[in-house]
Structure 1
């Protein structure tokens, strides 16, 4: 039979499009149609097609959509007829057109791209796979424009933006034949415009990602409401006002130009996706008349500037629309230290940094997320970050790891700090904060998720004087002389601070209001109540929010773009070996200094029984453990956070500490194959050298020797090449206390958690 179908396949296994086309041919071909086919089958008596069966088939013509051929083929299939038997009968029948229906086409798309709705900042993946009688080529289009580098079966866009939304289609070529896939709509949700977002779901049920916001408008203005959910397929929407459906309001965005007072009311949207139904929050829309307002009988304000509720002699301005605040740029540096060389290991910083990275990218921040930095690497990273801060920029710096506080100054501890450590080995928070203040930024947010216990090995007293500014928000995960607890268990989850912070950070509120709510949430957490409380310091005089939009036409600074590229992935590669095997080499970024590689066999020779592609020969500074490379299960390589989003049936390798990479990343892809003619224990090998340049954070050269200026900027005391060595004493609570982790079900583990705290903190 044809290549795409075994002769032994049951006749009833024919796909509906093929069956319909075959029946159409047999129904309309006199002399070579279904009746003659039935006679041939009855003559062999193999499948027992008798006169009664033929009469039953002929009666089908009396039905509007009836098909005698369909009935005959169904009877033959029920009695054991295979596709191979049918082809033999059609040969005898001499119906070449019917035979052609069973043959595989020269080109067939077997996987169509599916429409999807996803959040801004997430990764888009569209798939289109085809089979043909010769090599297949692909080209993706967005509307009528070719997608750059869109010549593979999978179209991947990392960190998708709103502008990437639209309709996509793939053209598939095979020799002289070509086909277009079905259209796939990509809807990108901008959560920075949302109110009260909540899309995380533990039970997999439908959750609203973008909630509509209340509106206060003047008559004649444009009413705009927006909502959305993520997933496949794209959901159906129906807006309602005061409980009744709004006519023709079946899109995610509801826009009513020239709104009147008849349009005010309470709005919400019904969303249906995959058989599930949910509703957005109900929001109130107030549309006030345009009226001149007299103030003290002496001055009139423009009707565009105020709302006059009631009109006449009103002496007050009500519901004034606040001025929109903008950021000229948004940059963030997130550092999580957990693999300490001389101090207790931590777990939560990895998950905390990962989750905050995803949230901040949804707010249009250019984020660099780094794990396990040495002292010089931390200083160089902070130095690079400080260079990005200019007038109007929103800057956010987050640190999770060991730390301490002496005489009002806080210190972040690098992973290579000696035991015990002192200020000469650490980064002074107040020194960094002082430099952030001097940049005239629109907003500075510094979040410290570390202990603030006294370090008795450090007697130095620093005097860092901070200027009076109006743009600083300083958040400690715990109070002075207290511990920041890491929730510890066999799994990886957040620390106490980020557990609640990530649920609030997208709220369209002043950042201090958001942190106040986080503090209240932490105060309700029984497991650490009285042991850890958020402390907030702020000199913010404006309603600055992390959700504030970017200023249109803001300067595109080259250094800022380089910072953003420190999390851009290398392009996927297809390697062709002389044996005829094609390998896909793909990449994913777990952090800005942690790269995940995976290899997948796209095509292999028919005589290969086994075929595997390994990556090897990495630079020594990456210190990759060979036993943890090229694993078929991502978790076996230490890939826990990305495992659910990686493609299946691959071999995975995790490369850490990319900041140590001095030169371009060159490695070897080794192909091992075993043919049917070989002994099962023997293999044939091919190899190819691959150069992917400097991926991710390696582009910033943080490995360089500690820059003198960055050292002085982050540490107010002379840096000693040979710091005094103290005899080790008992490590304080900030270095060793790691309570049992609480799951999302707080009540289930609350008792064990509190008992652990009592045992470890006498």
Structure 2
């Protein structure tokens, strides 16, 4: 059945055609797979649900993931025919995708085949095609054309290691062209001692490179290599102690950080077509990288260690050396509350959260950074944070804002807390710790940048029974019954705690040692000496550090599910181009400043020649969002309150900042307005179009909802006791005492002011200019210097690379991926 048969199910399309179709729909933003999903929504039989569209979008997290492929497969399973698909693509105006399903004018009869070959042998790749007229051939190695090769056969004699790589042939017929499939050439640089002669390649699969036994030390990098000659190129699967290793499917096996569990016997299974063979089995011994005194007399060094032999070495290590600590994953939740409804406003938490986000990302933490959360939003955010934790994970919670401490329990104050507040209105840190313990985490770190004054309005003692577990670390920005401060400055600046913490955070030191050094640094700061001192509480029983490597555990499916959950809250809308009837075109892009703060930038990329004035702006946003119309569509990021991304955003755009995305209840729909004046008309003409970008970033998690019935946080909630006290703010005499270095309100005033409200600290520090690597030096207006009713704690920023969702994707030498990348580049050289 031909590909042009309209009655054929699209799942029966040939794989090369299907692959090209997916490439076109994946790369096209406006007329891509999302638009296709919307178009089939009118057909009840083919309709794809929002949940299924979401699963399609998550395919971008996979190395070979294609949202279009999953969408088309779903449509095919529901009976979509090629004719229906062609009609939909024509309605969309998707001409490039239509070309993929039209009958080709060139047919490639023989495709080049991948091969693994020994250095010094002769290489030959073949591609034969027929067309309506004469065909011509061009061979490429990756993106570079192979010189002097226009025949259907590509020959290299003799082949050398530098000839290894990916090859493709372009067949030209008139104005049409067709690309062959990719062929990988793997050249094995084998010494003559292996004894393989040229005729050996004509027989069965031959192992040419055997792995070698190794003796390494804890923390070293293990590299094992094997290789076999054959056509097609062989497949590899490494085994340790007879058990297959997941994802170990390449010739070279690399383990970056060795631990004791990596010791054992390794061999590789090599297969090609219906034939398979094995390499030799080799032993990998892992030893300590220290000198240890044995029996009080003999010193055992690294060199002497291996003289003990494999068994003796293992026993020696178990008895005398501790394993290198590692995490199965690293997850951080950063919350910065500054815009309080009934309490003094803070400024440093935003800067602190941003700085810590960037630093924790460098330590490979998955970071969620949130600003200004209400009680229900905080509880739901912690609930989502707990979903990312499992056995061996390093979990870090940073909070900056107002807070207090009663009876040894610490409480974080949401932005909507009444005045005065009680435990029923706040989140107890120890209740979060209890739930983290239940996840069997490898390390629990709490960095609390908040005041620890007693709350005289709250006499409830929460009944929270913690398990006796190790590896818990509390870093309090100030001592018990004391206040934490943020600095007064003419520009963006940190709180006192983060000012010193960010200088040490990347150090490869035990976490308690790192915090000790921060405490020493703070102790030398004259402005807060005698007012604020870092306090550390720890049950650390191992040398755990934030720099410890990540070695995923056995539960790979669970880890993947957690990665998807994290990525779900960090998916940015795709950039898009909007075409207007007048001929103007607007490009629109998106960036994330925090996990709940979205930046929209627009730029007019094309305007009609007869249009003298052309302007565009965005408007009509959901009332759920915190958007100030006065600072929308500004010409510089700083004018609209975007201080941290100003250096990474494209220039010559209009910028709009949308905060409080966690409050978004429906999909984000807004209007793009274009205004233009033509030379032949005096009046201004308007064009409008609505844009729907779904639920971006943290809005996907619906944190705005009331506390979820199945929330694990409910196991530790205190009974609510409604507060009937009237709201009142502290008077000027409390905020501006005559001596600006006052410690806090006097006992007679404590009944009038919530205990977390503290007077200004008279610290006038020069503007620090750029904060981190992205912060603009544009000042805040009238930045004040509240003592933190709750000290500012840095929250994590949501995007690792600030343009697209910051989800690290490992590079690969897979043929399918290269097909997409390189064919697209070759098209550019038309």
Residue 634 of structure 1 pairs with residue 637 of structure 2: yes
Task: Quote the residue 2:109 is aligned against.
Answer: none
Task: Quote the residue 1:386 is aligned against.
Answer: 386
Per-residue deviation, residues 30-62 of structure 1 (Å, max 9, x unmatched): xxxxxxxxxxxxxxxxxxxxxxxxxxxxxxxxx
Identify if the C-alpha distance between structure 1 residues 377 and 292 changes in structure 2 by more than 3 Å, giving closer, same or farther: closer
Task: Quote the residue 1:742 is aligned against.
Answer: 765
- 8 A contact 2:493–2:768 mirrored in 1: no
What is the SS of the residue equivalent to 2:508?
coil
What is the SS of the residue equivalent to 2:647?
helix
- 8 A contact 1:507–1:547 mirrored in 2: yes
Residue 610 of structure 1 pairs with residue 621 of structure 2: no
Task: Quote the residue 2:305 is aligned against.
Answer: 306
Matches within 5 A, 1:228-307: 306=305
Question: How far does residue 607 in structure 1 lie from its aligned partner after superposition?
Answer: 1.9
Task: Quote the residue 2:451 is aligned against.
Answer: 451
Task: Quote the residue 1:496 is aligned against.
Answer: 496
What is the SS of the residue equivalent to 1:502?
helix
What is the SS of the residue equivalent to 1:473?
strand
Task: Quote the residue 1:707 is aligned against.
Answer: 708
Identify if the C-alpha distance between structure 1 residues 609 and 381 changes in structure 2 by more than 3 Å, giving closer, same or farther: same
Task: Quote the residue 1:436 is aligned against.
Answer: 436
Matches within 5 A, 1:568-647: 568-647=571-650
Matches within 5 A, 1:38-437: 306=305, 323-437=323-437
What is the SS of the residue equivalent to 1:478?
coil
> So what's the TM-score if we normalise by structure 2?
0.53
Question: How far does residue 515 in structure 1 lie from its aligned partner after superposition?
Answer: 1.2
Question: How far does residue 147 in structure 1 lie from its aligned partner after superposition?
Answer: 11
What is the SS of the residue equivalent to 1:516?
helix
Question: How far does residue 149 in structure 1 lie from its aligned partner after superposition?
Answer: 5.5
Aligned partners of 1:527, 1:147: CA distance in 2, in Å? 60
- 8 A contact 1:595–1:656 mirrored in 2: yes
Aligned partners of 2:433, 2:583: CA distance in 1, in Å? 58
- 8 A contact 2:571–2:697 mirrored in 1: yes
- 8 A contact 2:379–2:713 mirrored in 1: no
- 8 A contact 1:289–1:308 mirrored in 2: no
- 8 A contact 1:289–1:307 mirrored in 2: no
What is the SS of the residue equivalent to 1:643?
coil
Per-residue deviation, residues 467-525 of structure 1 (Å, max 9, x unmatched): 21112111111100111101133322110111111121111221111111111111121
**Relative contact order (C-alpha < 8 Å, sep 6+): which is higher?**
2
Question: How far does residue 564 in structure 1 lie from its aligned partner after superposition?
Answer: 3.0
Question: How far does residue 731 in structure 1 lie from its aligned partner after superposition?
Answer: 2.3
What is the SS of the residue equivalent to 1:644?
coil
What is the SS of the residue equivalent to 1:520?
helix
Question: How far does residue 658 in structure 1 lie from its aligned partner after superposition?
Answer: 0.5
- 8 A contact 1:292–1:308 mirrored in 2: no
Residue 686 of structure 1 pairs with residue 687 of structure 2: yes
Question: How far does residue 295 in structure 1 lie from its aligned partner after superposition?
Answer: 5.4
What is the SS of the residue equivalent to 1:357?
helix
Question: How far does residue 397 in structure 1 lie from its aligned partner after superposition?
Answer: 0.7
Aligned partners of 2:305, 2:688: CA distance in 1, in Å? 72
Task: Quote the residue 2:659 is aligned against.
Answer: 656
What is the SS of the residue equivalent to 2:451?
coil
- 8 A contact 2:485–2:495 mirrored in 1: yes
- 8 A contact 1:512–1:538 mirrored in 2: yes
Residue 697 of structure 1 pairs with residue 698 of structure 2: yes
Aligned partners of 1:170, 1:673: CA distance in 2, in Å? 45
Identify if the C-alpha distance between structure 1 residues 296 and 737 changes in structure 2 by more than 3 Å, giving closer, same or farther: closer
Question: How far does residue 722 in structure 1 lie from its aligned partner after superposition?
Answer: 5.6
What is the SS of the residue equivalent to 1:621?
coil
Question: How far does residue 712 in structure 1 lie from its aligned partner after superposition?
Answer: 5.6
Q: Which moved more, 1:322-331 or 1:540-549?
A: 322-331
Per-residue deviation, residues 509-552 of structure 1 (Å, max 9, x unmatched): 21111111111111121111121111111111111121222214
Question: How far does residue 322 in structure 1 lie from its aligned partner after superposition?
Answer: 5.8
- 8 A contact 2:486–2:785 mirrored in 1: no
Aligned partners of 1:611, 1:635: CA distance in 2, in Å? 23
- 8 A contact 1:403–1:452 mirrored in 2: yes
- 8 A contact 1:334–1:399 mirrored in 2: yes
Q: CA RMSD in A?
A: 4.6
- 8 A contact 2:337–2:349 mirrored in 1: yes
Q: Which moved more, 1:549-558 or 1:586-595?
A: 549-558
Aligned partners of 2:670, 2:288: CA distance in 1, in Å? 69
Aligned partners of 1:565, 1:711: CA distance in 2, in Å? 20
Task: Quote the residue 1:539 is aligned against.
Answer: 539
- 8 A contact 1:293–1:303 mirrored in 2: no
Aligned partners of 1:321, 1:569: CA distance in 2, in Å? 46
Identify if the C-alpha distance between structure 1 residues 442 and 756 changes in structure 2 by more than 3 Å, giving closer, same or farther: closer
Task: Quote the residue 2:718 is aligned against.
Answer: 717
Aligned partners of 2:289, 2:353: CA distance in 1, in Å? 49
Per-residue deviation, residues 68-114 of structure 1 (Å, max 9, x unmatched): xxxxxxxxxxxxxxxxxxxxxxxxxxxxxxxxxxxxxxxxxxxxxxx
Question: How far does residue 428 in structure 1 lie from its aligned partner after superposition?
Answer: 1.1
- Where structure 1 has 5 or more consecutive residues not aligned to the other structure, the ranges are 1-144, 153-159, 179-215, 225-254, 256-287, 310-315, 747-754
- Where structure 2 has 5 or more consecutive residues not aligned to the other structure, the ranges are 1-21, 30-59, 65-140, 146-174, 178-214, 224-253, 255-286, 309-315, 730-750, 770-783, 790-830
Matches within 5 A, 1:477-488: 477-488=477-488
Question: How far does residue 290 in structure 1 lie from its aligned partner after superposition?
Answer: 12
Aligned partners of 1:541, 1:444: CA distance in 2, in Å? 12
Identify if the C-alpha distance between structure 1 residues 508 and 289 changes in structure 2 by more than 3 Å, giving closer, same or farther: closer
Aligned partners of 2:536, 2:404: CA distance in 1, in Å? 17
Per-residue deviation, residues 590-612 of structure 1 (Å, max 9, x unmatched): 11110000101111112222212
Identify if the C-alpha distance between structure 1 residues 501 and 146 changes in structure 2 by more than 3 Å, giving closer, same or farther: farther
Per-residue deviation, residues 202-242 of structure 1 (Å, max 9, x unmatched): xxxxxxxxxxxxxx988xx8899xxxxxxxxxxxxxxxxxx
| Bigger Rg, which one | 1
- 8 A contact 2:454–2:755 mirrored in 1: no
Identify if the C-alpha distance between structure 1 residues 723 and 425 changes in structure 2 by more than 3 Å, giving closer, same or farther: farther
Q: Which moved more, 1:733-742 or 1:572-581?
A: 733-742
What is the SS of the residue equivalent to 1:395?
strand
Question: How far does residue 450 in structure 1 lie from its aligned partner after superposition?
Answer: 0.3
What is the SS of the residue equivalent to 2:650?
coil
Aligned partners of 1:383, 1:457: CA distance in 2, in Å? 27
> So what's the TM-score if we normalise by structure 1?
0.57
Aligned partners of 1:520, 1:471: CA distance in 2, in Å? 22
What is the SS of the residue equivalent to 2:305?
coil
- 8 A contact 1:367–1:564 mirrored in 2: no
Question: How far does residue 711 in structure 1 lie from its aligned partner after superposition?
Answer: 8.6
Aligned partners of 1:505, 1:690: CA distance in 2, in Å? 41
Aligned partners of 1:563, 1:461: CA distance in 2, in Å? 34
What is the SS of the residue equivalent to 1:383?
helix
- 8 A contact 2:570–2:698 mirrored in 1: yes
Aligned partners of 1:517, 1:455: CA distance in 2, in Å? 30
Task: Quote the residue 1:510 is aligned against.
Answer: 510
